[in-house]
Amino acid sequence: MRAIAEGLFTDETPPRLLGGRERATGRVVFPCPAGDSCDPVPLAREGRLWSYTVQRYRPKTPPYAGPDAFAPWIVAYVELLGEVIVEARLVDVDLDAVRIGMPVRLVPVVLDPDAAEPLAIPAFAPMEGAPA
């Protein structure tokens, strides 16, 4: 399974997100932009839920490339401490159990399990001991 975008994940197992450290300022950004303004930097696998919302309607195609059968999902903003806040899906948790500040871990998921060539997208799931 390949990532939905080139340079999104490291080649490690388990993978990490690949951010970029701006050469001029040292600021970390995600995703790592193309060009030579940033050096690629692997980001932490674990963080805390900084904020979230729920995607309740199917986005327009394009750019949406997911399954035709739509189901709402949690859009998470995860703080990777000392690095950056990233946007990704929050999975393996009931909506009523989501709590700001809950510890989460990167768990890439398949965008469309029925696709001929499944694509991996970034997602986070609650860590052990977090509400499920």
Model confidence over 82-129: pLDDT tens digits?
999 999 999 999 999 999 999 999 999 988 887 888 889 999 999 976
Nearest alpha carbon to residue 103 among 19, 16, 17, 44: 44
130-to-45, 90, 114 alpha-carbon distances in Å: 16, 13, 30
pTM greater than 0.75: yes
